[in-house]
Chain A
Amino acid sequence: MTAETILEIENIELTYKGSIQALRGLSLKVPKGQIVALLGSNGAGKSSTLKAVSNLLSLENGELTAGRIRFNGKDTAGLSPHALVRSGLFHVMEGRRIFEDLTVEENLVAATYALTGRGGAPADFEQVYDYFPRLKERRHNRAGYLSGGEQQMLAIGRALVARPSLILLDEPSLGLSPLLVEEIFTIIAHINRETGVSMLLVEQNAAVALAISQFGYIMENGRIQLDGPTERLMADDDVREFYLGQSGGAENRSFRDIKHYKRRKRWLS
């Protein structure tokens, strides 16, 4: 199993500014070539987990106080964020974070720095434009004037340019219409299937995330509460009710049932 694991997080604990604890002993694994969904509500620590992996935490005064993260079998502690990107781990940050003052194509050019020191073929923008034809039409426009959906496409396009072996995707559905969400998730699934890149997908929209992933983790308050293959999670009554919004027959549930759910979660952790 370890040979096929591209990312392994072991019992990490994370604190912001030395006092606010965001993760309390979180562990998860991403097998090579798969999409793993990391679900949970606001403030559960999903984005913090991704930042811990990409080492972008230090920019926000965050610090790992315990645990280990291994990418491709190597410990990532002490690696600078750009070195990690160059070794094949690309983080598509929450809120898209495209370079608004640069043109679409210049945004892709910026991502070619990820290929530094790797040799190999030159950056392939055509691949990006094949997945996202709309970006090609607008490649000389300033990225700041793109629509929200196009900006998300550009953010994913930058990741494609970098030819990573693992992409961390932080809420690609944020602020997009349901139709666009579906379009973008379809393309994400295509990219995974056609390029074989592994993905760790953070989402609040559990339904779309589980639809394209093979394995899922559900986290709350800085730890994993539930995990399993996607089919099992989707069949789980609690997940159906609390994350997929399907009440499974019984129309009006009382608060006692929620308490029961919480009790069960405590037992699980």
Chain B
Amino acid sequence: MSGDLLFFIEISLAGLGSGALLALTALAFVLIYKATRVVNLAVSEVLMLGGYLFFAFAAGLGLSAWVALPLSILGGGLLGGIVERGVIRPMLGENPISVFMVTVGLGSILVGMAELIWGAEPKSLPAFISTTPLFLGEAYVSRKIAVAFVVAGVTISVFLALFRFWRGGVALRATATDQAAAYSCGINVPGVFSVAWIVGCATAAGAGVLLGAIGGISTTMGVFGLSALVVVIVGGLDSILGALIGGLALGLIQSWASTYLGGEYTSVVTFGLLIVAMMIRPYGLFGTHEIERL
């Protein structure tokens, strides 16, 4: 195999790995949007907080990584539940832009709190994934990225299956389509909201731990969430499949762009893609557009 091709395969694999993390973060956006029609920008900061919680449990309290990981995920979920109950639910029915701005403010508060508690300088997480490289044929893959890929892939597949075959998936989609009608079918609509926020934020926190394990944590790592937001907007805000495919595709494209064009092109390509995709399909590549009856 020629060196060029091998190199291309290696950066593509790395791209798929970070793409899987993008997809996982995108899933958090989609879950929350689907149920409550809120674009929760604070998902990015919950992701950051997930990384810091893991740091606090594993490095601060000296817990084993396998205890710290579920605790961090639980912490993210708890935060999601509190925010939904305390801030978002009282604002139901308000202007969507106001609710969106509340999540923006919430994100800033979370960054501030993280800086107050842990300081602003970047940290690295205690290693819990082995660093021995993995070879797929001749191509080298970082083991951390491979683990992230598998975890993200499995999580998203589980969610896809739940949405199709589990009754709760129907409840969530029914609530997303028509709240009053969902109530009239006996669905506990506020309960659906809570579950969506808890599961969404827990997912984001889990993604944060994986991301932190690969690249270390910092209070600005929430920027990663912006790329994930591009994924959901391109893939369709209410489509889990869109989050998966969009995440992998954007991971690949970012990886190629930063290698062949240079790191400064990553954002240009990412957001250029967003603009083009929006012009072609305003409701996202996989999103639902309203059924028009003639």
Q: Which residues of A contact B (CB under 8 A)?
A: 54, 56, 59, 80-82, 85-86, 90-93, 97-102, 106-107, 109-116, 142, 144-145, 158, 162
Contacts and interface: CB of A to CB of B under 8 A. Distances in A.
A201 to B, nearest CB: 16
Interface in B177-192: 177-190
Main secondary structure of the interface of A (DSSP, over half): helix
B171 interface: yes
User: Which one of B173, B185, B288 has the highest number of Cβ atoms from chain A below 10 Å of its Cβ?
Assistant: B185
27 contacts: A56-B183, A59-B179, A59-B183, A80-B190, A81-B184, A82-B187, A82-B188, A85-B183, A85-B184, A86-B186, A93-B181, A99-B173, A99-B177, A99-B182, A100-B291, A102-B170, A106-B174, A109-B167, A110-B170, A110-B185, A110-B187, A113-B185, A113-B188, A115-B186, A142-B291, A144-B293, A145-B293
The 5 closest A-B pairs by CB, nearest first: A114-B186, A144-B291, A85-B186, A97-B181, A81-B183
Given A80-B190, A113-B171, 17 more contacts: A80-B188, A82-B186, A85-B184, A85-B185, A97-B181, A97-B184, A99-B181, A100-B177, A102-B177, A106-B170, A106-B174, A112-B167, A113-B167, A115-B186, A116-B186, A145-B291, A162-B186
Nearest to A161: B185
Nearest to A60: B180
A82 B189 CA distance: 8
Contacts of B293: 144-145
Contacts of B183: 56, 59, 81-82, 85
Interface of B: 93, 167, 170-171, 173-174, 176-190, 288, 291, 293
* B170, B186, B187 pick with most chain A CB within 10 angstroms: B186
Contacts of A97: 178, 180-181, 184
Contacts of A142: 291
Nearest to A103: B170
Given A59-B179, A82-B189, A101-B177, A91 B291 contact: no
A256 B38 CA distance: 57
A97 B240 CA distance: 25
A79 to B, nearest CB: 12
Given A59-B179, A82-B183, A110 B171 contact: yes
Contact of A102 (B167, B174, B187, B188): B174
Nearest to A151: B293
A97 B178 CA distance: 7
A92 B181 CA distance: 9
B182 A93 contact: no
B173 to A, nearest CB: 6
Given A144-B291, A144-B293, A145-B291, A102 B173 contact: yes
Given A59-B180, A99-B181, A142-B291, A113 B173 contact: no
A56 B180 CA distance: 7
A54 B183 CA distance: 10
A109 B170 contact: yes
Contacts of A80: 188, 190
A216 B129 CA distance: 73
Contacts of A162: 185-186
A90 B184 contact: yes
A143 to B, nearest CB: 9
A101 B187 contact: no
Nearest to B288: A101
Contacts of A116: 186
Contacts of A111: 185-186
Contacts of A81: 183-184
Contacts of B167: 109, 112-113
B196 to A, nearest CB: 16
Contacts of B190: 80
A82 to B, nearest CB: 5
Contacts of A85: 183-186
Contacts of B174: 99, 102, 106-107, 110
Nearest to A55: B183
A101 B173 contact: yes
Nearest to A162: B186
Nearest to A147: B293
Contacts of B186: 82, 85-86, 111, 113-116, 162
A59 to B, nearest CB: 5
Contacts of A93: 180-181, 184
A142 B289 CA distance: 13
A268 B167 CA distance: 51
A145 B183 CA distance: 23
A217 B167 CA distance: 40
A80 B189 CA distance: 10
A16 B184 CA distance: 20
A112 B176 CA distance: 17
Nearest to A158: B185
Nearest to B186: A114
Contacts of A90: 184
A128 to B, nearest CB: 13
Contacts of A56: 180, 183-184
